[in-house]
Chains A and B, each alone.
Chain A
Amino acid sequence: MILPLIIFSLCALLAVGGAVALILSREPIHSALALILVMVSLAVLYLLLGAPFVAAVQIIVYAGAIMVLFVFVIMLLNMEAEERTDFSKIAKFVGVPLGLVLIVWAAYWLAHSPAASAMGTGAAMEPSSTRELSKQLFRQYLFPFEATSILILIALLGALVMARKEE
């Protein structure tokens, strides 16, 4: 059982490192690449959790479709490297300590939650089948599923209307 642990540590490190690189890099394309790295590492983590369908969809939708559009737009606009400004005083003295507190609090909460004690028992490790997942999605949770899709469609139409030139 050492192999899953190695893969988990590697992907967790890559995900966190990618997220940090996303914020720190000045070149928009590098940020986009870092975000892709985060998404692919998350997909591997989903695989480890026994959710292969979610992992594949994560890559297809996020890394394969949404991020391609991001990269496309960055290329199309030929964006320059962004300019750095100094940290504002508020960010330095209030933001950073608050962020640290948030991280510690979240870590503490996660370590003591019931989910943490269930971890490692292998209960959730059984791969779920796509058939079962779709049955749940299209029978039990049909209404929220369709409602979400209509919501996304509305956002899409909204973007189209906003972007259209006035005649």
Chain B
Amino acid sequence: MGFITQHPVLVASVIKIAVLLFIVMTALAYLTWAERKIIAHIQSRWGPYFVGAHGLLQPLADGLKFLFKEDITPPVTDRLVYTLAPFLALSLALTAIALIPFGPPSVLIPVVGQQAWSITDINIGLLLVFAITAIGVYGVALAGWSSNSKYPLMGGLRSSAQMISYEVSLTMSVVGVVLLAGTLNFNEIIKGQSGYWFHFIPRWHVIPQVIGFLCYFTAAIAETNRVPFDLPEAETELVAGFHTEYSSFKFAMFFMAEYANMITVSCLATILFFGGWLSPFPDSWKWQIFLPGAGLVLLGIYCAYDTLTEMRGIARLQLAVVTLLALGGGLLCLYPPVAQVIQGPFWFTTKILVILFFYIWMRGTLPRFRYDQLMSFGWKLLLPVSLANLVVTAFVMIWPWLRHG
């Protein structure tokens, strides 16, 4: 006990990290489920349906399967680097999420007095996230090299070339927002976006920086190796790209790293362009604090209807549990003190989910770029446009009369 009372900050931080890790891991698992479901519905299929009600237990089954499969290490690999690569990829991807504030800094943990919704609140948060994503390239590049095989090497080379190229545009597209906000601290950037134009349009950076946002989003998709920029793992040409030789849980780690990176760039987009944990509605709309609870209750009612009409056998039982959880959580969130506290994380998660949906939607819709198209798009279009955006923003910032006409 003595240790806990002497180091409240350390203990609180460790607990927060553990909770966040658990939430992020669960979110990763269900992101794969959501992706399969959404793409299935785009393509007029059902998607996972049989493991659990609506396939809800599919991620769990997949995880177990990955754990119990034999972990094959080809004898010609560079063992140290081959083992290091997936760990590097996953740990870096998860570290970046630790810097994200999920709610306003004013909400404190009762006894310790620390911020409840963020692990750290540092002045150069944005820079650090970019630093971490910058080293993220190594996981993919080293995996490709250490496999000592042709397809992974090609995949690794492609991905490092692609990530270096698009990282430049990614960083450039964000500088416009930094100029507007005048800080690199996430919470300050978000606070700078409070307020409304004409009393109802939120002052989010996405409106003055719409070109910056489009550049950011395009570069972010390329940076996370997703369709239409998923050349490092183009199945038709490269088998599976950099992770061809990986099996069992090491493969799963690359998979999780990719989804963790998706979450990170969505968090960044939310913070930089969509006002982070700020509500899109004016403060005078008092009823909005009941939205999270109402949403959960509605979900619960839908699940109850589904349980009673569609499901049979064990699936009915499983969906009944989901129904009870949703209804119980919803009622809890309708209780005003609780509703007040969870406002920030609610809006933050909602915005992230919308952006993730766009991600998946894009995967279901667009075909893959050709490699030379990818490179010329990145260097000849995206980079000049984001540079021009930066220059125009800078001019508007130093000559205020441009802003007022």
Contact string, A109-148, partner B, CB cutoff 8 A, digits 1/0? 0000000000000000001011000000000000000000
Whether A75 contacts B144 in the complex (CB less than 8 A), given A64-B131, A68-B160, comes out as yes
A75 and B164: CB pair below 8 A?
Answer: no
Q: Is A33 an interface residue (CB 8 A)?
A: yes
B156 contact set on A, CB distance < 8 A: 75
Q: Is B80 an interface residue (CB 8 A)?
A: yes
A36 contact set on B, CB distance < 8 A: 135, 138
B124 and A29: CB pair below 8 A?
Answer: no
Number of contact residues on B: which range applies? 20 to 34
Q: Is A63 an interface residue (CB 8 A)?
A: yes
Q: Is A53 an interface residue (CB 8 A)?
A: yes
Indicate which residue in A29, A69, A127 contacts B145 across the interface (CB closer than 8 Å).
Answer: A29
Binds B, one of A54-62, A85-93, A95-103: A54-62
Query: Smallest CB–CB gap between A39 and chain B, Å?
Result: 10
Whether A75 contacts B130 in the complex (CB less than 8 A), given A29-B142, A53-B124, A130-B124, comes out as no
Q: Is B122 an interface residue (CB 8 A)?
A: yes
A75 and B141: CB pair below 8 A?
Answer: yes
B184 and A130: CB pair below 8 A?
Answer: yes
A57 contact set on B, CB distance < 8 A: 127
Query: Once the chains are docked, how many angstroms separate the CA of A50 from the CA of B164?
Result: 29
Number of contact residues on A: which range applies? 20 to 34
Q: Is B35 an interface residue (CB 8 A)?
A: no
Whether A68 contacts B138 in the complex (CB less than 8 A), given A52-B122, A60-B131, comes out as yes
| A30, A64, A72, A78, most chain B CB atoms within 10 A | A64
A72 and B78: CB pair below 8 A?
Answer: no
- Closest chain A residue, CB of each to CB of B153: A75
Whether A52 contacts B78 in the complex (CB less than 8 A), given A63-B135, A65-B134, comes out as no
Q: Is A94 an interface residue (CB 8 A)?
A: no
Indicate which residue in A30, A59, A69, A127 contacts B123 across the interface (CB closer than 8 Å).
Answer: A127
